[in-house]
């Protein structure tokens, strides 16, 4: 079968709480040229979609915090040009109708063949040139991360971040508001098949924090930086506003 690449590097937001399915879909989509962000709850998926509007959302309905139908409705209200596909085990006609009425463009019943999902994505994206040409520009307080140009600016002034510092900031910023595990950061920023020590992650994160704070201190006016919180035993989370006890995130 002829493999067709996605029209651009379309950004797919995956909202799925099942680890096995999520991991499989995330890896498969990446290997087919999509840029992916994976959120495990409805709330973090909504926050992510508002921070960095994706081209496509693949939405599970049975989520731990909210029902996917409500998330579909919210997503559709905020982003009209979104391609929204529901992936769920709920197969009744009434469920399919509810999903489509809530704003979904398509509906796939689990278990489905990955090749079918990929074919549907290509078919939908072919008809959406504007949506797939989306240029991700993340605004985090006074910090702007331009993913396509690989530039990071604080209050309009460019920060000369090192390669991995930029990649790490970009990985955290794409999932702003959601916890990102050390394993996911290692595989996204360093190597897809990383199983070794992760000391390099701590070192790079410390230098990223230092550079951001030094740049902020050098600004003539007070600036708002995103806050990177350390989640002991798990990973990190980037927040747009500092948590109430901002001391937790300092190195």
Task: Report the alpha-carbon distance of residue 65 to residue 131 in Å, rounded.
Answer: 29
We find the least distance from the C-beta atom of residue 20 to Ca ion, in angstroms, to be 11
Helices marked H in the chain = 19-31, 42-51, 68-78, 93-101, 114-126, 129-132, 163-174, 182-185, 199-218
For Ca ion, give the closer residue by CB, 22 or 53. 22
We find the least distance from the C-beta atom of residue 88 to Ca ion, in angstroms, to be 8
Binding mask 52-91 for Ca ion (x = CB under 5 A): --------x-x-----------------------------
Residue nearest to Ca ion (CB): 62
For Ca ion, give the closer residue by CB, 55 or 60. 60
| C-alpha distances out from residue 76 to 73, 107, 147, 233, Å | 5, 15, 24, 35
For Ca ion, give the closer residue by CB, 12 or 87. 87
Task: Report the alpha-carbon distance of residue 126 to residue 65 in Å, rounded.
Answer: 33
We find the least distance from the C-beta atom of residue 18 to Ca ion, in angstroms, to be 5
When asked if residue 8 is in the footprint of Ca ion (CB under 5 A), the reply is: no
In this structure, are residues 178 and 48 in contact, taking their beta carbons and an 8 Å threshold?
A: yes
Contacting Ca ion (CB under 5 A), which of 8, 17, 67, 184? 17
DSSP secondary structure, 82-118, as one string: -EEEEEES--SHHHHHHHHHTT-SEEEESS--HHHHH
For Ca ion, give the closer residue by CB, 15 or 201. 15
Where does residue 251 rank: exposed (0-12), middle (13-18), buried (19+ CB within 10 A)? exposed
We find the least distance from the C-beta atom of residue 211 to Ca ion, in angstroms, to be 39
Q: For residue 169, report the phi and psi dihedrals to the nearest 5 degrees.
A: -60, -45
For Ca ion, give the closer residue by CB, 60 or 239. 60
We find the least distance from the C-beta atom of residue 89 to Ca ion, in angstroms, to be 8
Count residues binding Ca ion (CB under 5 A): 3
We find the least distance from the C-beta atom of residue 30 to Ca ion, in angstroms, to be 21
Residue 142: how many CB atoms within 10 A of its CB? 19
For Ca ion, give the closer residue by CB, 12 or 59. 59
For Ca ion, give the closer residue by CB, 33 or 62. 62
We find the least distance from the C-beta atom of residue 21 to Ca ion, in angstroms, to be 8
Sites of contact with Ca ion (CB under 5 A): 17, 60, 62
């Amino acid at each position: 079968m002829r493999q067709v690449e996605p029209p651009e590097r379309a950004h797919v937001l995956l909202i799925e709480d099942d680890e096995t399915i999520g991991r499989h879909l995330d890896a498969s989509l990446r290997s087919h040229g999509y840029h992916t962000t994976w959120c495990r709850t409805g709330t973090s998926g909504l926050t992510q979609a508002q921070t960095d509007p994706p081209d496509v959302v693949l939405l599970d309905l049975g989520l731990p915090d909210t029902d996917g139908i409500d998330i579909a409705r919210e997503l559709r209200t905020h982003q009209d040009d979104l391609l929204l596909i529901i992936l769920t085990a709920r197969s009744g006609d009434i469920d399919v109708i509810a999903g489509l009425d809530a704003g979904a463009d398509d509906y796939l019943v689990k278990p489905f063949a990955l090749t079918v999902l990929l074919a549907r994505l290509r078919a939908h994206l072919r008809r959406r040139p504007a949506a797939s040409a989306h240029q991700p520009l993340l605004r985090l307080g006074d910090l702007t991360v331009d993913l396509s140009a690989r530039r990071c600016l604080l209050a309009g002034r460019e920060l000369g971040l090192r390669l991995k510092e930029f990649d790490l900031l970009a990985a955290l910023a794409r999932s702003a508001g959601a916890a990102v595990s050390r394993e996911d950061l290692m595989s996204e920023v360093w190597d897809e098949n990383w199983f070794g020590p992760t000391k390099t992650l701590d070192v790079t994160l410390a230098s990223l924090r230092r550079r951001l704070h030094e740049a902020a201190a050098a600004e003539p006016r007070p600036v708002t930086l995103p806050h990177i919180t350390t989640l002991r035993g798990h990973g990190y989370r980037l927040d747009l506003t500092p948590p109430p006890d901002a001391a937790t995130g300092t190195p």
